[in-house]
Amino acid sequence: MTAHRIVFANEKGGTGKSTTAVHVAIALAYQGAKVACIDLDPRQRTLFRYLENRVETERRREIALPGARFAVYDGDQIDELDALAEEIAQGFDFLIFDTPGRDDPFARHVATTADTLVTPLNDSFVDFDLIGQVEGETFRVKKLSFYAELMWETRKKRGMKTLNEGRREMDWVVVRNRVQHVEAKNMRRLDGALQELSKRVGFRIAGGLSERVIFRELFPSGLTLLDKGHLGELGTSHLVARQELRGLVAGLNLPMPARAPAERELAAQD
């Protein structure tokens, strides 16, 4: 069995990429999947540190939580990264890559191997500019950005491998994180631009996670919104955020293993 590869990639920082990656990893683990993760940002190590904190919380509280096998890659050779990926994902259902928020050769490489490519965006035209440029008056898409062209070429190359090697076709999903209660006209403009670009480039659009203080508060413990019973009393906003996470995982449409006895646990988190 080959692990389904999920690559979280965006050349902009501050889009909630690592937070989304961690929560998707734990959500999959709660559903009974075996999950491995590789952090490709050896300087910040956000995903690695989050999961490291989770292990420490398990040790300190003497509890067992669904989790993931994880590593950080700090080398400088593509073949070494491929060897690490092969080793860590052996016998696992999913392999998740968290990439740096900048142009990076290793991020580009793993994007070509992705079964599911996830690009989180903040819900604004500032972040939309990563994938496309719009006219200042009409807000119609006038051209693809360099990143969108790169991902388009990546999908084409992957398509050739799909035909020649029998691999899965890449599913590119743009996730709208940190959606704000913005003025309705601006929201319609952004919706229209995303829909137009998705038809031209071939990505799907999924709802993501809103900006919430709890995500920053959970990092030191490595806990997630799904760790019911270990978070203390939760407010309404936390329950809404958990619903957002469930919607995001469903929107990614990932192939879940049939064996998992815990498949219903994600739905039981409310």
Integer Cα distance of 99 and 102 in angstroms: 8
- Residue 79, judged by CB atoms within 10 A of its CB (0-12, 13-18, 19+), counts as exposed
In this structure, what token pair is assigned to residue 222? 């490595």
Spatial CA neighbour of 20 closest among 43, 44, 47, 45:
47
In this structure, what token pair is assigned to residue 95? 């392999």
Domains and CATH numbers, the chain: 4-252 (3.40.50.300)
Per-residue pLDDT of the chain (270 residues; tens, 9 = 90+): 789 999 999 887 777 889 999 999 999 999 999 999 999 999 999 999 999 999 999 999 999 999 999 999 999 999 999 999 999 999 999 999 999 988 899 999 998 899 999 998 887 788 788 788 788 777 788 888 877 888 877 777 776 655 555 566 889 998 887 655 555 667 778 888 888 888 888 889 888 887 667 788 899 999 998 998 888 777 777 788 888 889 999 999 999 987 555 444 554 455
Integer Cα distance of 258 and 2 in angstroms: 15
